[in-house]
Structure 1
Amino acid sequence: MSVRRNLTPWAPAALVTVALLATGCAGQGADASAPRATPTSAAPHGYVEGAQERAEQQSRLVLNDPRTGDSRVLDLITGKVHEVSRTPDTTHLTTDGRFGYLHTTGGTHVLDSGAWMVDHGDHVHYYRARIRDVGRLPGGPGARVRSDAAVTAVTDADGRARTYHRAELEKGRVGSPRTLPGTHAEAVVPYAEHLLSLTDDGKGSATLAVYDREGRRVASPDARCEEPRGDAVTRRGVVLGCADGALLVREADGTFTAEKIPYDGDVPAKQRATAFRHRPGSDTLTAPAGERAVWVLDVTERTWTRVRTNGPVVSANTAGEGSVLIVLETDGALHGYDITTGKQVSRTKPLVTGDLDAGTDGNTGPVIEVDRSRAYLNDLKGKRVYEIDYNDNLRIARTFDLDIEPALMAETGR
């Protein structure tokens, strides 16, 4: 693997993080960039056994070639590529920020990428550790995995759900699951020390239910979701995609409420938002809106914006907070759109080679991953990954050449 740089090398926005660590974790007497020693009765704040704490985001890319099963982890700090266990016939690759979940016909392979963050609200801790295989979760294609700091929930294609102790995954083993009652229309989402579910009524509609981590239903907010598809966790609550818009579920002082964020008018089924992508920590979500448009959902303002594109959309994402909407179109180029005006403000040369199909976002094919300072795009036929500075007119900052076709990609460490 080789790395090619264009003008300016990658430099993570660490100054703010350093300041947060200095203020939020002051007085711990430890260098945040150094490995931690064996814990004592006075272990430093944020100590994690077997991990090194760093002052900056430790991003890594989990990559897979479904044809051969070859998998790699690309360390974006060092530029090194790590070869990991083969996982053939992978249909989807998802992540919860640390673990890569490679969904296959025989189950879901769990890979610990060795990079993650812990958000304490007023400050953030970043960690790096060794990469290792964890094991296999039941549930093949169609299984959906969602996690929080304590629980990982796996919802099978038939709507059955199980939860696993995340602490066990962090120790390198799957552990014993707990089965949740009933069937669920979409993914069970851990949130606010509870589990959110849309209970299927068998008629295309679902009712919101809240369970505790033992699987007991503890609340049933008065909320329904027609034809549910897609979900995302934001700082302002959990967004659930519905036929008429989105359902925003929030928790305050132990009480769960649900608020509908409707579309502005009727939206044809083929133009509805059914799969969300966003920068973790952002309250701005993106989703395909038909062949030549992208939905942008501002959760803070409770508004939908439909941005029309010049060509058919392959994948889209945004960093939010005033950043451009980044769209990969079937011409192989990245296009930057001003979300407010809808105007194209930047464009790259064609980056992705081979034939591109619109609407492949979430399956095998090019995707756009976004963090606080960079975006990443996988080029299958070209066997490379591009690092994009989205704050500098989509400038290509680095190019990583690979020895596999990275048809699946997910970023961890965010």
Structure 2
Amino acid sequence: MTLSGSAAAPASTTRRNDHPVLPRSSTLTALLTLAALTLVGCAGAETEPPATGEASGGHGAVDGAAELSEPPLALVTIDPDGAVRLLDLLDESEAKLGNVPAASRASSDGRYVFADAGGGISVIDSGRWTWDHVDHFHYYLAEPAMLGEVPGRGAAAVATTSSSTTGSTGVFFAGSGEAVLLDTAAMSEGELVERFRLEVDPHDGMVVPIGSYALVTQPEHGVAASVSVLDEDGMPQPGATAQCASAQGTVTTRVGAVIGCADGALLATVVDGAVEIERIPYPAGTTAPRATAFAGRDGRPTVAAPAGDHAIWLLDTRERTWTLLPVDRPIVQATAIDDEAQHVLALGADGRVLVIDGATGALLSQTEPLVAESLATDAGTPTLIADQQRAYLNAPAERVLYEIDFADAARISRTFATPTSPALFAETGR
């Protein structure tokens, strides 16, 4: 399936720290009279930063930002009361950025942090990002900012692209069934602008940006069952819908945008300004639980997801293949490094970080139980994040942040004590 079209003007604009001015809601379900989509295979052009469909003019620069010679990595933490702090990983300085409503979960695209309080999301700009130009990178540092709130009801699912200065960011509120597409370029200028806000029946849905379009889930009997392609005005594209039973989980890789389905995954790519979608089914005869939570190093084609608690799914979006890796102990999270050594990381249910060979499934190394107390309490959610060189893990109950050298026998390279519980966290600048 191939689509093309032009970008639409932003639907609304606000100044920093103001609530967004909402465009008039429309009912998406009533608009969608689309025919079934015939899925086709595609190679997926990868000569530019993938999955955004945006031109590379400006190389990710914005007014007021300084270009650096190395990535300005930082850890952004949110404590149970909503205090937001930033730890600079280069000089180890710490600064409090502000406060958000007490949040239950957070996500990030490597620059912005989206904190979900159940009644809307708070958007935090860390002021640090990397522009992937395929054969080289550009690194930027600007002043961090609390950008404000995007209102909504119920748990919010956030989907981002590989660019922090172009394209869009998708937010879906499960309680109200509101599908919101934010203008990422406007966020880079300190504004929250909604390209569209549409209503569907409430469900655990997604708005997944891809080029100048967005994929929006549609429910049947309260469960996401299909995906439709909309333009930036929120208008459905004729014939552009794909079945995706029990759609759950999304991630952007170097190749395109992934949405998990009961029978595998949908992969959406942008080729010559148009969207193409194909299905990547699970291997025939598999009985392993499906993937619902994808994670991997930014800018790489392979992502990982737990397959139940004793295996890991690897999805290679370049080769369009799944690989199942058995694990000899219960795990709660997994992420793919996709480096030459094919490292895969997992967080064990006992609080250890495991380094696994992605080709054989062999356990290469492991840490001591770093977050056993956190996993056994409700102090917060330990989250394992990895970049090219290191992995990071928050320990809410233990009140520390760990930096782990996964290539050096899972060595703990640094430990950062925190003044309060780092209940939620994200790595930015990558």
If the length of structure 2 is used for normalisation, what is the TM-score?
A: 0.78
Is 1:62 the equivalent of 2:76? yes
| Of 93, 98, 119, the match for 2:132 | 119
Query: Is the aligned partner of 1:391 residue 2:407?
Result: yes
Shift of 1:373: 1.1
Verify the 8 A CA contact 1:244 1:267 in the aligned structure 2. Answer: no
Cα 1:404/1:219, change in 2 over 3 Å: farther
Alpha-carbon separation, structure 2, partners of 1:221 and 1:45: 32
Q: How many residues align?
A: 368
| Distance of aligned partners of 1:229 and 1:337 in 2 relative to their CA distance in 1, 3 Å threshold | same
TM superposition shift of 1:236: 1.2
The structure-2 alpha-carbon separation of the partners of 1:46 and 1:341, relative to structure 1 and needing over 3 Å to count, comes to closer
* Percent of residue pairs bearing the same amino acid type: 38
* Equivalence for 1:376: 392
User: For structure 1, which segment, 103-112 or 45-54, has the greater mean C-alpha deviation from structure 2 after superposition?
Assistant: 45-54
How far does residue 93 in structure 1 lie from its aligned partner after superposition? 0.5
Post-superposition shift, 1:355? 5.3
- The alpha carbon displacement at 1:265 in A equals 3.7
Mean CA deviation greater in 403-412 or 209-218? 209-218
Shift of 1:95: 1.1
Q: Is the 8 A contact 1:90 1:103 kept in 2?
A: yes
- The 2-side partners of 1:92 and 1:373 are apart by 25
Alpha-carbon distance, 1:375 to partner? 0.7
Structure 1 residues 244-298: Cα deviation after superposition (integer angstroms, max 9, x where no partner) = 1111122212343222211124556x82111111111111111111122221112
What per-residue deviation string (whole Å, max 9, x for no partner) do you get for residues 56-97 of structure 1? 11221111122x323211111221111122234311111122
Counterpart mapping for 1:128-167 below 5 A: 128-148=141-161, 149-157=166-174, 158-167=176-185
1:294 aligned partner: 312
Aligned-pair distance for 1:230?
Answer: 0.6
Q: Which residue of 1 aligns with 2:299?
A: 281
- Relative to structure 1, the CA distance from residue 301 to residue 164 in structure 2 (aligned partners, 3 Å threshold; closer, same or farther) is closer
Q: How does 1:254-333 map to 2 (within 5 A)?
A: 254-265=273-284, 271-321=289-339, 322-333=341-352
CA contact under 8 A between 1:89 and 1:105: conserved in structure 2? Answer: no
What is the match of residue 253 of structure 2?
A: 234
User: Does the 8 Å CA contact 1:108/1:140 hold for their aligned counterparts?
Assistant: no
Alignment of 1:64-83 (within 5 A): 64-66=78-80, 68-83=81-96
Which structure carries more relative contact order (alpha carbon 8 Å, separation 6+)?
2
User: 2:65 is matched with which residue?
Assistant: 51
Secondary structure of the residue that 1:356 maps to in structure 2?
Answer: helix
CA contact (8 A) 1:209 1:219 kept: no
> Are 2:204 and 1:190 equivalent residues in the alignment?
no
Three-state SS of the structure 2 residue aligned to 1:168 is: helix
Could you tell me how far 1:203 is from its partner in structure 2? 7.1
The SS at the match of 1:354 is helix
- Deviations for 1:10-33, whole angstroms, at most 9, x for unmatched residues? xxxxxxxxxxxxxx9xxxxxxxxx
Q: Structure 1 177/205 Cα, relative in aligned 2: closer, same or farther at 3 Å?
A: closer
Name the stretch that deviates more: 71-80 or 172-181. 172-181
Could you list the per-position Cα deviations for residues 284-313 of structure 1 after superposition, in whole angstroms to 9, with x for gaps in the alignment?
111111122221112222222222223221
Secondary structure at 1:226's aligned position in 2? coil
Q: In the alignment, which residue of structure 2 is the partner of 1:20?
A: none
With normalisation by structure 1, the TM-score equals 0.81
Q: Is it true that 1:410 corresponds to 2:426 in the alignment?
A: yes
Structure 1 residues 245 and 406: CA distance shift in structure 2, 3 A: same
Describe the SS at the equivalent of 2:244.
strand
Q: Which runs of 5+ in 2 are unaligned?
A: 1-47, 49-56
Q: Which shows bigger deviation, 374-383 or 221-230?
A: 221-230
CA RMSD of aligned residues (A): 2.7
SS of the aligned residue for 1:209 comes to: strand
Flag structure 1 segments of 5+ consecutive residues without an equivalent.
1-23, 25-42
Structure 2 residue aligned with 1:354: 373
* Paired residues of 2:225 and 2:247 also in contact (CA < 8 A): yes
Partner of 2:234: 215
Distance 1:355 1:103, change over 3 A: closer
Change in CA separation of 1:46 and 1:297 when aligned onto 2, cut-off 3 Å: closer
Q: How far apart are the structure 1 equivalents of 2:321 and 2:104?
A: 33
Deviations 1:94-140 (A, max 9, x none): 11221111110332111111111222344321111111111111124
Give 1:164 shift: 2.7
Quickly say closer, same or farther: Cα 1:141–1:64, change in 2 above 3 A.
Answer: farther
